[in-house]
Amino acid sequence: MPDLDLSSLGAAAGPMQTWVLPALLGLGLASATGLRTFLPLLMLALAAKFEMFGVRLIDQMDWLVSWPAIAALATATVAEFAGDKVPAIDHGLNAIGYVTRPVAGAIAAGSVFWNVDPSTAAIAGLIVGAPAALAFNAAQTGVRVGSTATTGGLGNPLVSLVEDVLAFLTVIVAFLAPILIPIVLIILAIVVFRLARRIRERSELRTA
């Protein structure tokens, strides 16, 4: 039986631990920030604070696990959750999200590249996090506009609740099995696309 080359296994595991898994975890977190700005950051802070799911942050993000930061994120999460259930306010939050959510996505993604230097982690966060957050925020805009046109805004709270659940579950999958994130995001994109299309079709029928 040939000897197992542990050094080659270690070399193969290096890029996986340094780049692949952090990138997938960051992608999942950032995509969730495209739906909810603060919930993914709060979940990331709590996971790092209590050392759950093997989550580690770069040293420069230690402030995120402080109790004042966690309290601020919790307050912002509750405020966003409540505000997004109110027609008109939800559109305002979505518009602001075109700025805040890519920033949150970049922070969330960059913070989990704990095995590289800070500047490289920041660049990785921008590359992975900002586009993902922006894409899902744009998709949310399409769904929300269609819901408003179809239901006069009355259906928006239900749509918002679905988004809450999707954001939460995406972060959980990113924590537990980041390797599955590409599949989850494909499914999520299909769900959002079909929902937007169904709402648009109902709006067209109502107009006709």
Amino acid at 165: V
Q: Average model confidence (pLDDT) for the chain? A: 87
In the block, residue with structure tokens 């979940």: 43
Separation of alpha carbons 16 and 20, rounded Å = 5
Task: Please identify which residue in the block is written with the tokens 């595991």.
Answer: 13
What pLDDT was estimated at residue 8? 44
pLDDT tens readout for residues 107-152: 999 999 988 899 999 999 999 999 999 999 998 888 888 888 787 7
Asked if pLDDT for residue 159 goes beyond 50, the answer is: yes
Locate the domains of the chain by residue range. Answer: 16-207
Q: Give the CA distances from residue 193 to residues 69, 71, 79, in Å, rounded to whole numbers and listed in that order.
A: 35, 35, 27
Would you call 69 exposed, middle or buried from its count of C-beta atoms within 10 A (0-12, 13-18, 19+)? middle
* Residue range 57-64: mean pLDDT, rounded: 92
pTM of the model as a whole:
0.86
Cα–Cα distance between 52 and 39 in angstroms, integer? 16
Could you tell me the pLDDT band of residue 6, with boundaries at 50, 70 and 90?
very low
